[in-house]
Amino acid sequence: MLYRVLLMLALLALGGKGMAQSSARSVNVPFDQAHVADEAQLKAALAAIRKGDELASKGGIDHTAAIAAYQQAMDINPNNAELNCKVGVCLLNGPMPASALPLLQRAAVLDPALPRVHYLLGYALQLNARWAEAIAAYQRHAEIIRRTPDPDRTYNMVEKRVLECRSGLELMNAPAKAMVSNIGGPVNSPAAEYGALLDGKGNLYFTSRRPQTTGGKLNKVNNSWFEDVFHSSWGAQGWSTPQPLAGLVNGPRNDATVSLSPDGRRMVVYRDERNGGDLFTTDMEGSAWSQPVPMPLVVNSPAQESSAWRSADGNWLYFVSSREGGFGGSDIYRCPWDWKLASWGAAENLGPDVNTMYDEEGVYAPGDGSTIYFASQGHNSMGGYDLFKASFVDGQWSRPENLGWPINSPGDDQFLVLMPDGKSGYFSSVRPGGMGEDDIYRVDLTPVGNVEATALLATMGAGVPMAGDEEERLRLIGFIKGLRMMEPVEAVITLMSLDEPEINTRMITDPSTGHYAVEVPPGKEYAVHVTAKGYLPHSERLEGKSGDLRMDMALTKIAPGNAEVLRNIFYKPQRFELDSSSTKELSALCDFLKTHPDLRLQIGGHADSDVGPISNKELSESRAREVVNWLVKHGIAADRLEAKGFGDSKPIAPNDSDSNKALNRRTEIMVL
């Protein structure tokens, strides 16, 4: 079963029809001899496009190879609207669909008359939460299909897409008081991960389509790896490397996590052995899981059953089925447990208050089952699946409540499960900044003590501890902003333990807010590095005590005279030799310089007012020169660097305490 619902978009045939020149500056350039004079290049480009079309038609894991083939043609002619659109479609159907936006924007500028381009552009804008622009693109597509109808149902869903964008705009303007963080590697990977189940004892079970699937074969239906169930456990170093679930659950086809009993010893799993997919139960026997047994026929039917959860009191089983007689593709049903007969009673559809003409999925029923959480493509979704909450009151289901931004996003958000205290939970999402395809995220549903009551979103993060271990974690939260304009910046944040190199995590700030959040093991010293396009690298040093720590950071734009302090450069006491713990910071600076080959920097050394065996001026200059020598040794041209010692002439704090003196002892970079 493919949990993530992809927008399957047909590739446009290369031909040149409908290609128009939009302006003198943005001209669509066909692939023909009149526009590509070099015959060999034209032949190579057309061959690359044919190869790309063939690979793209397969979908799944071949999307990357298709994009690479198209890129060969784009290197020859980057100004072909249809080619830009083809690459955009591949990205929309790939692991990071929001990244398609620049290609589709380019295609729409090059040829506004290109079929379907405005719908595709609207979808890419929607995935990036650019609601107003998306609505405008969808409405332009609607004008076109009124004149020239499109036979494909997908491209006639403009009204629904516009409603989704309006929902997104409304929900984003009144965000939920929640913090969302990607649990990061090694659980999440470039492949899809979803269906997180936690037993409260440090064990995490989840579904993944990574290449290590049992049997190592591809699903011919979607050209992706089959699903398998994996296990990871939380320890001092975060999540352990996931391993396939021990026992007999994983087979040669799709096997996926569905639900877990309160004691963590019985699991419901999905398998597609028959009837389009059914639900099975498996029990932990020792340290392994037993052969899955199909659930009774009142649950499994000739249609597909994909999700189920038994209420904690045992009285109800909620499940998702695509059987006939429902309100949409997949609906939510429930069965009562007959304690005398020890069997499930007849299944009942939850009705039109919960189920829609679209798909519902991933039902979760904590407590006595009177309140359920589920994913739906209907109601007031802001795009794809959104997470909703509904309660059974006085014999009727309440109107489902959208859990709001930032829990929900324009992509698919599914499979929410809460921890016993109800204050945090885990779900899967496809959103910008993730590691690829579906990732598992943690959500905290109550405001953090030292954070303003605003919604926070972190798109990447390290491991996240289990509920009950709150005192054994360090949570770093904050906001990255540009120093001059105070604008949010999409930045990459790296946390590295100074003592244990294996503890190394990377995250990306939410591009719409600049916020970030990450949790790491406490009791360690961390180097914090922040990089963003157009800005100097920023660094901090973090004492890793447990609890919540707010750290807002301002970035400095790359411009002559602008400077940044390197806070993780350390020297031997009263000497100029670099300490080995400086390597991480120096390596990051070296990488920055290699990506900015035309940039020249001054390395400035600064000292406090204390006088040692070497004069402050001489000590600071020797330290600056030591950094320059390290960079030159690691591949940076010497003429790009200048060492200068300032001694104690430029303090940034009064030299009246040890902490202030430590601030004045610093190494700075300045743009020349």
Q: Which CATH number covers residue 258? A: 2.120.10.30
Q: Are residues 88 and 213 in the same domain?
A: no
Q: Are residues 389 and 330 in the same domain?
A: yes
For residue 564, count CB atoms less than 10 angstroms from its CB and return exposed for 0-12, middle for 13-18, buried for 19 or more: buried
Q: Are residues 215 and 343 in the same domain?
A: yes
Question: Quick check: is 641 in a domain?
Answer: yes
Question: Quick check: is 214 in a domain?
Answer: yes
Task: Identify the pLDDT of residue 262.
Answer: 86
Q: Write out pLDDT tens, residues 400-415.
A: 999 999 999 999 999 9
Instruction: Report the share of the chain in percent with pLDDT over 70.
Output: 86
Question: Quick check: is 4 in a domain?
Answer: no
Cα→Cα distances 315→85, 261, 265, 345, 420, Å: 52, 13, 19, 10, 18
Residue 470: pLDDT band (50, 70, 90) is very low
The closest alpha carbon to 209, from 188, 191, 185, belongs to 191
Q: What phi and psi, each to the nearest 5 degrees, are found at residue 296? A: -65, 165
Residue 468 has pLDDT above 60, yes or no: no
CA torsion through residues 253, 231, 422, 515, sign: negative
Task: Identify the pLDDT of residue 25.
Answer: 52
Task: Identify the pLDDT of residue 582.
Answer: 83
Q: Are residues 127 and 273 in the same domain?
A: no
- The whole domain housing 662 covers 561-672
Residue 430 tokens read as: 């496809």
Residue 473 tokens read as: 């974690």
| Average pLDDT for the chain | 85
Residue 171 has pLDDT above 70, yes or no: yes
Instruction: For residue 525, give every residue at least 6 positions away whose Cβ sits within 8 Å of its Cβ, in sequence order, or none.
Output: 497, 498, 499, 541, 542, 543, 544
Q: Average pLDDT of 574-602?
A: 86
Residue 389 has pLDDT above 60, yes or no: yes
Q: Write out pLDDT tens, residues 132-163.
A: 999 999 999 999 999 999 999 999 999 999 99
Q: Are residues 127 and 256 in the same domain?
A: no
Kindly report the number of other CB atoms within 10 A of residue 566's CB atom. Answer: 22
Residue 388 tokens read as: 């909703």
Task: Identify the pLDDT of residue 164.
Answer: 97
Rounded CA-CA distance 139/662 in Å is: 59
Task: Identify the pLDDT of residue 614.
Answer: 74
Q: Domain of 621: which CATH number?
A: 3.30.1330.60
Question: Quick check: is 491 in a domain?
Answer: no
What's the residue count for the chain?
672
Q: Which residues pair with 553 in a beta bridge?
A: 480
Task: Identify the pLDDT of residue 483.
Answer: 45
Q: Are residues 377 and 239 in the same domain?
A: yes
Q: Are residues 215 and 166 in the same domain?
A: no
Q: Are residues 50 and 158 in the same domain?
A: yes
Residue 649 has pLDDT above 70, yes or no: yes
Residue at which a domain ends, from 376, 410, 429: 429
Task: Identify the pLDDT of residue 619.
Answer: 85
Task: Identify the pLDDT of residue 37.
Answer: 87
Residue at which a domain ends, from 403, 429, 455: 429
Question: Quick check: is 549 in a domain?
Answer: no
Q: Average pLDDT of 339-345?
A: 91
Residue 502: pLDDT band (50, 70, 90) is low
Rounded CA-CA distance 458/179 in Å is: 8
Classify each residue of 598-621 as buried b or exposed e, where b means 16 or more C-beta atoms within 10 Å of its C-beta.
eeebbbbbbbbeeeeeeebeebbb
Long-range contacts of the stretch 524-527 (C-beta < 8 A, 24+): 524/497, 524/498, 524/499, 524/500, 525/497, 525/498, 525/499, 526/495, 526/496, 526/497, 526/498, 527/495, 527/496, 527/498, 527/568, 527/584, 527/585
The closest alpha carbon to 292, from 333, 243, 318, 257, belongs to 257
Task: Identify the pLDDT of residue 534.
Answer: 87
- Report which of residues 554 and 348 the model is more confident about: 348
Question: Quick check: is 499 in a domain?
Answer: no
- Report which of residues 5 and 80 the model is more confident about: 80
Question: Quick check: is 93 in a domain?
Answer: yes
Rounded CA-CA distance 282/595 in Å is: 52
Task: Identify the pLDDT of residue 22.
Answer: 37
Q: Are residues 65 and 149 in the same domain?
A: yes
Q: Are residues 213 and 167 in the same domain?
A: no
Q: Are residues 253 and 335 in the same domain?
A: yes
Residue at which a domain ends, from 394, 429, 464: 429
Number of domains in the chain: 3
Kindly report the number of other CB atoms within 10 A of residue 410's CB atom. Answer: 30
Rounded CA-CA distance 88/104 in Å is: 6
Of 24-28, 332-336, 528-532, least confident by mean pLDDT is: 24-28
Residue 16 tokens read as: 């040149």
Q: Domain of 156: which CATH number?
A: 1.25.40.10
Question: Quick check: is 32 in a domain?
Answer: no
CA torsion through residues 400, 404, 410, 413, sign: negative
Do residues 371 and 325 touch, judged by C-beta distance below 8 A? no
* Residue 607, Ramachandran bin (φ over 0: left; ψ between -120 and 50: alpha; else beta): beta
Q: Are residues 285 and 425 in the same domain?
A: yes
Residue 328 has pLDDT above 80, yes or no: yes
Residue 46 has pLDDT above 70, yes or no: yes
